[in-house]
Amino acid sequence: MIRFASRRSTISGVSVWKCLQQISRAPTYSTQAQLLFHSQSPSTCTIRLLSPRPVNWYALRLCHGEPQGTSDRGNTKEGFSLRALTQAPKPALYLGFSGLIPFMSAPLLMASIQAFNPELAYAQVVYGACIVSFLGGARWGFAIPAGSPAQPDWMNLANSVVPSLLAWLALLCRDSIAEGALVVIMGLGLSLHYDLTLLPGYPAWFKAMRTVLTLVATFSLVATLIIKKFYIEKKIKEILN
């Protein structure tokens, strides 16, 4: 009897080892089968795992009615592409790209006279601060109307105030054009990050236009900083004389 019992325990031990190997080699087995293995006896576990049912997670998501491209929180992720600019209204395109003229004119004029003009550079920084403040106000105005995808909660409204504070800080850097330009660049990048990733609601054409406008404005400010480093500083009076 003792030998028979020991032999039987060895056989059951081998079956338990085979169960463990089947579970480790088949990652698509359902979690219920693994729980049954731990809760039932070795013989029952062997019988239940002879016919495992694989879990098709994509089919389960479709059965539950979850659309493809939807995150766990239920926020639909809209595709982003620069081709969406073709869907933009013409007034938005004309006004948006014409707003780049003050950004680009400052470094072009300084490059033409081959001198760094602090008044012209500060005017560019002031205009950039106004644009940064405008972007924050646009988000605030988008979240207030009833039925808007962006709710007037702490995240949307508080993040809308941050660009305005950065614009105010840039205006205080009158004696240091480089610091003011860097603060404006920071505000432009932060506003674009809010509109593309954190806060929902803007259409794809607006996101594409915002990306292009932000990149051009940033490169214009960087060009001004490069001119400041490599060209001689001259004020307007010196240039006119």
Domains of the chain, by residue range, sit at 2-55, 82-240
Which of these, 241, 238, 234, 240, lies nearest to 115 by C-alpha position?
234
The CATH number of the domain covering residues in 82-240:
1.20.140
pTM greater than 0.85: no
Separation between Cα atoms, residue 240 and residue 31, nearest integer Å: 81
Separation between Cα atoms, residue 205 and residue 182, nearest integer Å: 27
Separation between Cα atoms, residue 118 and residue 177, nearest integer Å: 7
On whether the CB atoms of residues 30 and 61 are closer than 8 A, the answer is no
On whether the CB atoms of residues 124 and 177 are closer than 8 A, the answer is no
Per-residue confidence (pLDDT) for residue 131, from 0 to 100:
96
Separation between Cα atoms, residue 123 and residue 171, nearest integer Å: 10
Beta pairing partners, 76: 70
End-to-end CA distance of the chain: 117
Q: Compute φ and ψ for 69, nearest 5 degrees.
A: 85, 15
Q: Which residues in the chain land under pLDDT 50?
A: 1-17, 19-20, 23-24, 26-77
Per-residue confidence (pLDDT) for residue 66, from 0 to 100:
38
Q: For 189-226, give one letter per residue: b (16+ CB within 10 A) or e.
A: ebbbebbeeebeebebbbbbbbbebbeebbebbebbbe
Q: In this structure, which amino acid lies at residue 175?
A: D
What is the token pair recorded at 54? 């694989």
Q: Quick: pLDDT tens for 174-206.
A: 889 999 999 999 999 999 998 888 766 788 899
Give the CA-trace dihedral at 202, 206, 212, 218, to 10 degrees. -50
Per-residue confidence (pLDDT) for residue 190, from 0 to 100:
93
Per-residue confidence (pLDDT) for residue 239, from 0 to 100:
76
Per-residue confidence (pLDDT) for residue 5, from 0 to 100:
42
Separation between Cα atoms, residue 180 and residue 170, nearest integer Å: 4
